[in-house]
Amino acid sequence: MIRLLLLLLPSTYITFHHEGFFWRCWFSDVGENTTNIWKFWYTNQPPSKNCTHAYLSPFPRIRDEYNSTSYDSAIIYRGFWTVLMLLGVVTVLMAGFFIICAAPYASHILYKTGGGFFITAGIIFSLVVVMYVIWVQAMADLENYENMKKKDCPDFTVHVRYGWSFILAPIGIFFALFAGMLFLLVGRTIYLHSD
């Protein structure tokens, strides 16, 4: 999941912040169009970016700017989110393995097992997307961060944009659930016609 923050400072000085599953990257630029997300994704990027590991890093700022309670609870939340994300990936891989193994033998049990794993993966990924939205909208507390920065810089604003992987996630969830139901149906059909 990608999260993009546009931190606007006076004289259109912009800090683009990108957070993915493994890395957090940011770069600064002076620009005229402050809402141009294409600039961050594809064009006119500066030659150097600052990047750091994103695992267990729940906020787009350094730790010293938080009290320990909010930081620790966000770490736990990010940990659960990460575990669910990895569990979903493993579940999809196992579902594919069961379906591949079922094909040569026309095994209804393996088709049903693979279908069940696909449905489970769809449910897990649905939880991951919902947790991510809650994390960005509620846990990150960007409003307080913006108010804190406005004390030093009155023109400071924050814009949050969801990235392309977040936008494509519901499509993947739909296809995981659809594949699961399809393979459960295939397993049922093979079972009924095997007698």
The residues facing 162 across adjacent strands are: 3
For 145-186, what is each residue's pLDDT tens digit? 777 777 777 777 777 777 777 788 899 999 999 999 999 999
The CATH-assigned architecture of domain 3-193 is Up-down Bundle (1.20)
Nearest Cα to Cα of residue 42 among 21, 18, 63, 62: 18
For 42-84, what is each residue's pLDDT tens digit? 665 666 777 777 665 655 554 455 555 566 677 777 788 888 9
> DSSP for 104-149?
HHT-HHHHHHHHHHHHHHHHHHHHHHHHHHHIIIIIS-HHHHHHHH
Q: What is the pLDDT of residue 42?
A: 60
Whole-number average pLDDT of the chain: 76
Residue 163 amino acid letter? G
The domain segmentation of the chain, as residue ranges, is: 3-193
- Range of 90-94, 126-130, 137-141, 157-161 with top mean pLDDT: 90-94
CA-CA distances (angstroms) from residue 90 to 77, 84, 122, 150?
Answer: 20, 10, 12, 44
Integer Cα distance of 1 and 20 in angstroms = 5
Please report which confidence band the pLDDT of residue 2 belongs to, taking 50, 70 and 90 as the band edges: very low
Residue 123 predicted with pLDDT over 70: yes
Burial 129-165 (b: 16+ CB within 10 A, else e): eebbeebbeebbebeebeeebeeeeeebebeeebbee
